[in-house]
Chains A and B, each alone.
Chain A
Amino acid sequence: MTYNVQIKVMPLKDLLDPQGKAVLGGLKNLGITSVEDVRVGKHITLQIEAASEAAARSVAEEASKKLLSNPVMEFFEIEFVN
Chain B
Amino acid sequence: MKFGVVVFPGSNCDRDMQDALQNDLNKEVIMLWHKDKDLSMFSTEDCIVLPGGFSYGDYLRCGAIARFSPMMQSVIDFAKMGGKVLGVCNGFQILCESHLLPGVLLQNANQQFICKNVYISNNATGALKIPIAHGEGRYFANDAVLDELEKNNQVIFRYSDAAGLIDTQFNPNGAVRNIAGIRNKEGNVFGMMPHPERATSALLNNLDGKKVFEFLGLN
Footprint of B on A, CB under 8 Å?
18-19, 22-23, 25-26, 29-30, 40
Contacts and interface: CB of A to CB of B under 8 A. Distances in A.
For chain B, give the interface size range: under 10
Main SS class of interface, B: loop
B68 A23 contact: no
B57 to A, nearest CB: 5
Name which of B59, B65, B69 has the most chain A CB atoms within 10 A of its CB: B59
23 contacts: A18-B57, A18-B59, A19-B57, A19-B59, A19-B60, A22-B56, A22-B57, A22-B59, A22-B60, A22-B65, A23-B59, A23-B60, A23-B65, A25-B56, A25-B65, A26-B56, A26-B60, A26-B65, A26-B68, A29-B65, A29-B69, A30-B68, A40-B59
Interchain residue pairs A-B with the least CB separation, the first 10: A26-B65, A22-B59, A19-B59, A22-B57, A22-B56, A23-B60, A30-B68, A29-B68, A23-B59, A26-B56
Interface in B45-88: 56-57, 59-60, 64-65, 68-69
A35 to B, nearest CB: 14
A73 B69 CA distance: 31
Nearest to A22: B59
Nearest to B34: A29
A26 B67 CA distance: 10
Contact of A40 (B56, B60, B68): B60
Contacts of A23: 59-60, 65
Nearest to A21: B59
Contacts of B65: 22-23, 25-26, 29
A64 B58 CA distance: 26
B197 to A, nearest CB: 25
Contacts of A18: 57, 59
Name which of A22, A23, A30 has the most chain B CB atoms within 10 A of its CB: A22
Contacts of A22: 56-57, 59-60, 65
Given A18-B57, A22-B60, A25-B56, 8 more contacts: A19-B57, A19-B59, A22-B56, A23-B59, A25-B65, A26-B56, A26-B65, A26-B68
